[in-house]
Every structure is written in structure tokens, then in C-alpha cells.
Amino acid sequence: MIIGGQAVLLYGEPRLTRDIDIILGVNIDCLDTFLDMIRQIGIKSLAGDVETFVRKTMVLPALDEATGIRVDFIFSFTPYETQAIERARKVRILDHDVRFATIEDLIIHKIFAGRPRDIEDVR
């Protein structure tokens, strides 16, 4: 499920965003399998000690080598995150269904993050 600046573009005013934030809906127990999957499609991890970094932050920063776009993969396992993924809105992009957080869930994520940019996005 897409959150962050890309989801703000769907619901709010256009703004520059330099990455894509994706909630995976899986716990870090799936890290090794997930790393194999992203390597196969040309995405490389930007974390030095991947396992330690992901265990500490629940985020895997990565780079799509073909486009140069940064992607932050967010591992999740709480009941709220599971429900948010189930509620996600499907948007058709280039013949693919892409799931975006609902506006309500996006607002919750932004308020929880609490950074000035996130609070401005909520406004």
C-alpha cells in the first residue's frame, strides 16, 4: 500500500516528492525472501547492515537502479496496518492496480510521523 508523498499527490495538492513509501503488510521475518525478490527486479538495498537496520527501524531504504527512484519499504504487522491495507484504494496505473492508503489512513500515518512536512500534508 502506497503512503507518503505519492499518496498525498492522489488526494491533495501536487508537490515534489523524491521517494515512494510502501507498507508491505509483512513482518521482518520475511526479510530474506523479500530481499531476494527485490534484487531480481533491479532494486538494491541502501542499508549497510540490512538486518540490523530493518529490525531497528522497520524500514528498508532501497533504490530502483533503472529509474533512480528511492523506495522505502515499510514492514508492518499490527492489526491497524492490516486493516489499512484491506481498506486501501485501488488506482489503475499503466495497466496495473496500485493500492493507495485511504485518505483517512494517510492522515493517520502523517500525524503519527509528525514531521513538519507531514503536518503540512495533512492540512
pLDDT in tens, 37-53: 999 999 999 999 999 99
Note the pLDDT tens digit of each residue in 79-115: 999 999 999 999 999 999 999 999 999 999 999 888 9
Mean pLDDT across 24-49:
94
Q: What was the pLDDT predicted at 3?
A: 92
CATH number at residue 89: 3.30.460.40
pLDDT of 18 higher than 90: no
Q: What was the pLDDT predicted at 5?
A: 87
Q: What was the pLDDT predicted at 12?
A: 83
**106 lies in which domain range?**
2-122
Pick the closest to residue 28 from 61, 10, 55 (CA basis).
Answer: 55
Is the Cβ–Cβ distance between 85 and 25 less than 8 Å? yes
The reported pTM is 0.88
pLDDT of 57 higher than 80: yes
Q: How many domains are contained in the chain?
A: 1
6 to 41, 79, 99, 114, 117: CA distances (angstroms):
21, 23, 11, 17, 13
